[in-house]
Structure 1
């Protein structure tokens, strides 16, 4: 009886030949991907691809060959083992993303009023932010306004220091002092004056 050429590759793989490992992967990869695709629902395909599963299986198998000295008598035995590992890996992946898959719905099936509120600021919040900015400009000494404006643009403290020629500690102190002034002014607005009692 003629020996399957794959059997000799499997034997070389069991002996630690990594060139044989690459060739065995090339041979088995289409078959294993087909195993995954048969079990992969349309909803799960949005979460992972068959090649992702097969590659993770192969990485696991290679480490097993190196660490545990796995040996297989022939290609049929290795194929059966790879199919089982692939199925187990699919179950693991399904468990990881099961909740997300169960909760997701196509946008066409969601009522517009049931969608979450926008994370964009409301008109009221934009107006309040504008008022706060104006108060900060009023409370900020003219010499420090460039620091405040750079910070509002999202520039880091170290970059502000570089651009203005100030020390980073000075930039921190300027911003902290301004924050204190704003807080004190806000607090004084909330406390009723003695005249109105």
Structure 2
């Protein structure tokens, strides 16, 4: 089975006000076979920095624990708290050792997702497979190409190349970063 490129997106919410729009849009993307949500977690961080995690899927808590949290394994956070985190870390180490090709992040490469979430806020962590990119990725590979880097470009950086005006960039930047 070919899997498309996979991306972890971390979305912050200062004062979550959900009305089902995000879930509806993810469902629309799934139905059009554009993306597949592999895993999703909600993380709540209180004013003292204590974290509470909730699995966002149609799985029961028992099923989520049995199947394991893919995001939890990636970032070292278990659905069952510290016990789950340790189990996830052990499982990841075993897979990396067995595979031999998996490079485990060292400290300079580490991305502390939980540290990036501000106290007294929430975050949605979405592990998304990009189905739309499979034919493009495969064509690039057949041509001898490979990924060197990737990243989202800030709307503010688009002004200089003429894709958006300064006013449009400010609106988009605020929309993407302000949480309001």
What TM-score, normalized by structure 2, do the two folds share? Answer: 0.21
Q: Which has the larger radius of gyration?
A: 1
State TM-score, norm by structure 1: 0.19
**Greater share of residues in helix:** 1
Higher strand share: 2
